[in-house]
Structure 1
Amino acid sequence: MTELMLKYFRDKQQKAQTESIYDTQCPYCSMQCKMQLIEQRVITRKKHKTIGKDNPTSQGRLCVKGMNAHQHALHHDRLKQPLRKVNGVFEPTSWEQAYQIIAEQFTKIQQEDGKDALSVYGSASITNEEAYLLGKFARVALETKHIDYNGRLCMASAATAANMSFGVDRGFTNSLQEVPHTRCIILAGTNIAECQPTIMPYFEKAKENGAFIIAIDPRETSTTKLADLHIKNKPGTDVYIANAVMKILIDLDLLDHAFIQERTEDFDDVREYVSTLQLDTLAENAGVSLDDLYQMALVFGRESSGMIFTARGIEQQINGTDTVRAFLNLLLATGKIGKPHSGYGAITGQGNGQGAREHGQKADQLPGYRLIENEQDRRYIANVWGVSPEHLPRKGVSAYEMFERIIDGEITSMFVMCSNPVVSNPNANLIKKALKQLKFLVVTDLFLSETAKLADLVLPATSYLEDEGTLTNVEGRVLLREASYPIQGEAKHDWQILCELASILGKKQYFDFENAEAIFEELRIASKGGKADYSGITYQRLRQEKGILWPCPDTRHNGTERLFEESFAHPNGKAKMAAIPCQSNLSKPAPTEQYPLFLTTGRVMSHYLTGEQTRKSPSLAARDFEAFAEIHPDTAAKYNIQPNSLVRITSEQGWIVVRSRYSSTIRKDTVFVPFHWTENQNVNRLVADQLDPYCKMPGFKMNVVRLSPIDG
């Protein structure tokens, strides 16, 4: 072949191959890792790969989910036009027709059943702008009190506990950069190695630097393997551990008396209560050794600095708020908060779990962590929105309680945005029954999820690659997600859908936004002076500074790296300690002859939440393509369960069928099932509907079941 011909073919190949780079950040966990999608076009084919991008939180790291996130965003099953159900079958329709149907149905339902017959179910995966706008949409465009979101099932107890103890809830009281330098770390009910993999290097560095790590978990996980001490307790007994450690700290006088005196209140109530407890009884009830409890107390009490991190393991219980507060008591009694390398971290689960709960999606909240029942807060937000405070609805009910209101006939229509409550809620059979009972159901999503399949109208949303906006990560760091990938089909941004629908409903003047930044500018004003103050944050600053930790009250402020250095957020500046009873008034499930085993649930590294997105990723689905039951071999033998065989798990609420997986490291009285699958593998079918009295968190992590083999 001549040199001229070679040059011809090289030139032709170069013309046929182009490369585009799209900045974005991961749509999954609360680390919100920055990354770039590289798209190569070769002739008529497209090839994609994702690489990490440097940032203050994950420092360019990605986990397997982030590296393959584009596979669901570019999946052929993406919804690309509105769908209307006609005679039980979905048919494509136009946006104009879809909006008209919604306006007609919403108007009719409110005329027949009252304004509060409409409900809104939001998400902790949408941007801050969209979370803010959804709360405003419910209260101004629909004028309904019924709005809540799926974060109620995830971070609610930690948020409530932090508010009760400290006066404000920000995921971490310190930045992640302090973790490697602390001397003692307690990981209470968190499996960060699988749920937030890119956070692990901070803890690994702490261990390298000599930190003593304590993990509390009924299972042995990739996280507990990092620990110097693994306390393998019975599910639901974490409050016994926290109270036992407090009693030992008091008995051995491992307290910071000056801090207790100057910066806390109600310590005497705690001391008086734990003095009535017997350590051997606490250890026995928790199923752990008294020696381990002493070691935990001695190390944490004696070290110069320490941090406590909690997650769903202790939070998703019907006494989750109390349990988190009991651990926060340990920080306060030893003065390990508001100081370098000492503090608290709630390991937020969902991508925008922090920001989504700050700006108005919760039934009782307004933007900036203001309270809807507080008259001063109502007046301020009403003024920002240009409405009368009297026209703002009052407090509604929590996420799960909205479905109970549907069953009772109080709610007759629902607007679901980017959530899949059929799979994520407890008592999943009741959720499906409630949604089928509605007069009218609208769902906005990327895919035809289990919830969307029940809808009368489905609206296609844009993905993380296409939808620009801010999100607030696990630290409380506000990040700007750039998103410039071409929109798929006729999909629209969530904020765009809300603005256009509000216009059809006659409320355009309150929702006249042209882009996400314009919404953020109003959010800044709405949050100003609130506990979650974003008013000093701008898109320009976020691009320059790669993220800012709130509160940030003005544009000259650098953001707040460490909370509570001088005072807590209660009016008197003090933290509130509380005597936390080991035996609450709640009826916690206990093993019986009929249901002899504890059931606990959680995640696996390759999947996220209900799995609707990750199961669309071939690379992730191949790693875990079905649910499983992790069982101790001795327990399996007792119930004739063979390895890798199908097993029926039954509770009072229902049953599922999953495959057995032996583990010699799980407690013999406990079964673990991940929650990323649907239908007969949906473990939430087994979960009871009791709720934490303070935050309305369901008790996902503690139920009782029986096992039976499936022959053949």
Structure 2
Amino acid sequence: MTNSLADMDRSECLFVIGSNTTETHPMIAKRILRAVERGAALIVADPRHIQLARFATVAVRHRPGTDVALLCGLMHLIVRNNWHDQDYIRQRTEGFSSFERVLQNYPPERVAQITGVAVEDLVRMAEIYATRSPAAIYYAMGITQHTTGVDNVKACANLAMLCGNVGIPGGGVNPLRGQNNVQGACDMGGLPNVLPGYQPVGDEQVRSRFEEVWGTRPPGQMGKTIPEMIQGMQEGRIRALYVIGENPRGSEPHLRHLDSALEKLDLLIVQDIFATPTAQKADVVFAASAVAEKDGTFTNTERRCLRVRKAVDPPGEALEDWRILCRLADALGAPQNFEKPEDIFEEIRRVTPSYAGMTYARLGIDGLQWPCRTEDDPGTPILHVGSFARGRGIFHPVAHKEPAECPDDAYPFILSTGRMFAHYHTGTMTRASTHLDREQHTAYVEIHPKDAQTLSIEDGDQVRVSTRRGAVALEARVTNRVRPGMLFMPFHFQEAAANILTNPAADPVAKIPEYKACAAAIEKIMGGETAQERSV
């Protein structure tokens, strides 16, 4: 996030797109609703009628996979009506002329045809965002999990810069992270192209600095993304896989393809707190510790590094993650001389400039937001104040592209997947909770009443949803929450796994799969058939 969560108290407009915030980030949703109560405008754009839409000044349901068209349409209207911040654009950005030319391709009439959003709603959204300053954008995986995910994010950044909303209190471009330490994992180099602190692996000077601390030179070639790893497993180029705190047998698209790849490994190691579906396939399982069973730090969605303090010992033979990794390193002949998590954090400070000013003592209870470069640096609540990290912000012309797979005669629906309030990710923790599992014990698919009537499907019927990759049987939920022609499935239920169906097509830059849009069919299961998932 460029801004802090507390900045919502200063925003005059909050634009939420591709985020079912009340169900997936309830504490952040509480802040949004508090801002609405004091008079801030709320714009919501989501293919489903989510709970947050009830409180919105304007809420629209655009067709899945049309985010770029929607955002470009809003920017077209803002420029056409001279609502953009011309001083900010001139003083702080570059590339506006070529960007503005692309916007001419998105008049409201064309955008309405692409997105399904009425022209009058487009005009209202554009005017509210552009004239209620400061305005903040909040998005989640409804923006990123597309083959156009990078373009979607660029379009959000373009919109924020267009109205001078980057580097100011109450504004910004603010991605809501999907899990509690995703930001911290990325900060620590959990990406294939960077070392800790987003330092490029191909930079010789960067690798030299790490060599001074680590005593060995990091490799200069980029690592693999998850889709590339799976392909490497299929082709026999990757022979071993080490999975820590992840359940790819629930989270990856086209699960049958993944299972086939896992079978070809010589060694699968899984480190987790429960016997997840992935752990059940493993050759070796390391029993890890849960959050209350370890010391360390997490870094949350607003770049805030926070202490985690151990409350109880891990059960049985379970160990903290760092102890497991150190023991494995010792066994491999690369001993790690850490005695406690604070020792590891001290090394983090040495190799990660944006964390250099943090210490355990300074983190205290409230933590610090990076960048925090020196021990007298109070941290950075707002990024890009005065100037961008690169100097001037750059406008990126982007164009609408359809999803990799669109409805046709055989598969006439658009299937989107996501989360629901009672469960988390692949359900490995929440479905182990009796109370949470009781809230929603079985899988379901949402279908619009008009489509249900056409197919003689009633609420509660058993149906089969199929795509080109497979099929699952589950309960139908007839609801106006989805658009006509759209289906929605939560992906928490292994027994009717949504990701048997999803398309592994990925964004060409970020390699994030297109979980939010693929072609699907649905049919009622007639008497005598068994409600079992089957492979096409």
Q: Which runs of 5+ in 1 are unaligned?
A: 1-171
- Which residue in 1 is equivalent to 2:94? 265
Structure 1 position 642 matched with structure 2 position 458: yes
Give the letter aligned to residue 394 of structure 1: Q
Taking the TM superposition and a 5 Å limit, the aligned residue runs for 1:181-196 are: 181-196=10-25
Taking the TM superposition and a 5 Å limit, the aligned residue runs for 1:29-178 are: 172-178=1-7
Q: Displacement, 1:382?
A: 1.9
Taking the TM superposition and a 5 Å limit, the aligned residue runs for 1:506-655 are: 506-508=333-335, 511-528=336-353, 533-543=354-364, 545-570=365-390, 573-583=391-401, 588-655=404-471
- Listed one character per residue, the Cα deviations across residues 1-21 of structure 1 (whole Å, up to 9, x for unaligned) are xxxxxxxxxxxxxxxxxxxxx
Q: Displacement, 1:276?
A: 3.1
Give the letter aligned to residue 125 of structure 2: M
Taking the TM superposition and a 5 Å limit, the aligned residue runs for 1:7-22 are: none
State how far apart, in whole Å, the 2-side matches of 1:175 and 1:199 are.
11
Q: Which of 206, 223, 233 is 1:396 aligned to?
A: 223
Taking the TM superposition and a 5 Å limit, the aligned residue runs for 1:35-434 are: 172-388=1-217, 392-434=219-261
Structure 1 position 460 matched with structure 2 position 275: no
Q: Displacement, 1:540?
A: 1.2
- Which residue in 2 is equivalent to 1:92? none
State how far apart, in whole Å, the 2-side matches of 1:665 and 1:462 are.
39
Contact 1:415–1:443 (CA under 8 A) maintained in structure 2: yes
- Which residue in 2 is equivalent to 1:159? none
Q: Displacement, 1:665?
A: 3.1
State how far apart, in whole Å, the 1-side matches of 2:120 and 2:106 are.
17
Give the letter aligned to residue 452 of structure 1: A
Contact 1:220–1:665 (CA under 8 A) maintained in structure 2: yes
- Which residue in 1 is equivalent to 2:533? none
Structure 1 position 707 matched with structure 2 position 534: no
Q: Displacement, 1:266?
A: 0.7
Give the letter aligned to residue 454 of structure 2: K
Give the ranges of 4+ consecutive aligned residues of structure 1 lying more than 6 Å apart after TM superposition. none
**What is the DSSP-based 3-state SS (H/G/I as helix, E as strand, rest coil) of the residue aligned with 1:419?**
coil
- Listed one character per residue, the Cα deviations across residues 566-590 of structure 1 (whole Å, up to 9, x for unaligned) are 11111xx111111101137xx6221
Give the letter aligned to residue 235 of structure 2: D
Give the letter aligned to residue 194 of structure 1: E
Q: Displacement, 1:327?
A: 1.7
Contact 1:610–1:676 (CA under 8 A) maintained in structure 2: yes
Contact 2:76–2:107 (CA under 8 A) maintained in structure 1: no
Structure 1 position 441 matched with structure 2 position 268: yes
Give the letter aligned to residue 69 of structure 2: Y
- Work out the number of aligned pairs and report it: 527
State how far apart, in whole Å, the 1-side matches of 2:206 and 2:256 are.
38
Q: Displacement, 1:395?
A: 0.6
Q: Displacement, 1:648?
A: 0.5
State how far apart, in whole Å, the 2-side matches of 1:286 and 1:542 are.
45
Higher relative contact order (CA 8 A, sep 6+): 1
Contact 1:596–1:704 (CA under 8 A) maintained in structure 2: yes
Give the letter aligned to residue 500 of structure 2: R
State how far apart, in whole Å, the 1-side matches of 2:387 and 2:203 are.
23
Give the letter aligned to residue 653 of structure 1: R
Contact 2:254–2:504 (CA under 8 A) maintained in structure 1: yes
Contact 1:606–1:623 (CA under 8 A) maintained in structure 2: yes
Q: Displacement, 1:536?
A: 0.9
Contact 1:180–1:207 (CA under 8 A) maintained in structure 2: no
Contact 1:629–1:658 (CA under 8 A) maintained in structure 2: yes
Contact 1:181–1:209 (CA under 8 A) maintained in structure 2: no
State how far apart, in whole Å, the 2-side matches of 1:207 and 1:484 are.
37
State how far apart, in whole Å, the 1-side matches of 2:151 and 2:387 are.
23
State how far apart, in whole Å, the 1-side matches of 2:175 and 2:203 are.
26
**What is the DSSP-based 3-state SS (H/G/I as helix, E as strand, rest coil) of the residue aligned with 2:285?**
strand
State how far apart, in whole Å, the 1-side matches of 2:164 and 2:28 are.
25
Q: Which runs of 5+ in 2 are unaligned?
A: 528-536
**What is the DSSP-based 3-state SS (H/G/I as helix, E as strand, rest coil) of the residue aligned with 2:174?**
strand
Give the letter aligned to residue 146 of structure 2: Q
State how far apart, in whole Å, the 2-side matches of 1:175 and 1:665 are.
31
Give the letter aligned to residue 204 of structure 1: L
**What is the DSSP-based 3-state SS (H/G/I as helix, E as strand, rest coil) of the residue aligned with 1:478?**
strand
Give the letter aligned to residue 431 of structure 1: L
- Which residue in 1 is equivalent to 2:303? 476
- Which residue in 2 is equivalent to 1:166? none
State how far apart, in whole Å, the 2-side matches of 1:565 and 1:629 are.
45
Contact 1:263–1:575 (CA under 8 A) maintained in structure 2: yes
State how far apart, in whole Å, the 2-side matches of 1:513 and 1:216 are.
48
**What is the DSSP-based 3-state SS (H/G/I as helix, E as strand, rest coil) of the residue aligned with 1:465?**
helix
State how far apart, in whole Å, the 1-side matches of 2:160 and 2:217 are.
43
- Listed one character per residue, the Cα deviations across residues 620-670 of structure 1 (whole Å, up to 9, x for unaligned) are 000011111011122112122221121110001111111111112320111
Pick the structure with greater CA Rg. Answer: 1
- Which residue in 2 is equivalent to 1:494? 321
State how far apart, in whole Å, the 1-side matches of 2:259 and 2:211 are.
36
State how far apart, in whole Å, the 1-side matches of 2:119 and 2:424 are.
36
State how far apart, in whole Å, the 1-side matches of 2:247 and 2:52 are.
28
- Listed one character per residue, the Cα deviations across residues 90-114 of structure 1 (whole Å, up to 9, x for unaligned) are xxxxxxxxxxxxxxxxxxxxxxxxx
**What is the DSSP-based 3-state SS (H/G/I as helix, E as strand, rest coil) of the residue aligned with 2:405?**
coil
State how far apart, in whole Å, the 2-side matches of 1:333 and 1:498 are.
46
- Listed one character per residue, the Cα deviations across residues 422-473 of structure 1 (whole Å, up to 9, x for unaligned) are 1100111111111111011111111111111111111111111102110011
Structure 1 position 698 matched with structure 2 position 513: yes
Contact 2:69–2:106 (CA under 8 A) maintained in structure 1: no
- Listed one character per residue, the Cα deviations across residues 503-558 of structure 1 (whole Å, up to 9, x for unaligned) are 111111xx111111111110111102xxxx11111111122x52111110111111
Q: Displacement, 1:393?
A: 4.9
User: What percentage of aligned pairs have identical amino acids?
Assistant: 34
Contact 1:240–1:283 (CA under 8 A) maintained in structure 2: no
Give the letter aligned to residue 462 of structure 1: S
Give the letter aligned to residue 351 of structure 1: N
- Which residue in 2 is equivalent to 1:23? none
Structure 1 position 689 matched with structure 2 position 509: no
Q: Displacement, 1:279?
A: 2.4
In structure 2, the CA distance between the partners of 1:502 and 1:462, relative to structure 1 (3 Å rule), is same
Contact 2:181–2:298 (CA under 8 A) maintained in structure 1: yes
Structure 1 position 663 matched with structure 2 position 479: yes
Contact 2:148–2:401 (CA under 8 A) maintained in structure 1: no
State how far apart, in whole Å, the 2-side matches of 1:291 and 1:388 are.
58
Contact 2:210–2:217 (CA under 8 A) maintained in structure 1: no
**What is the DSSP-based 3-state SS (H/G/I as helix, E as strand, rest coil) of the residue aligned with 2:290?**
coil
TM-score by length of 1: 0.73
State how far apart, in whole Å, the 2-side matches of 1:300 and 1:639 are.
40
Contact 1:220–1:666 (CA under 8 A) maintained in structure 2: yes
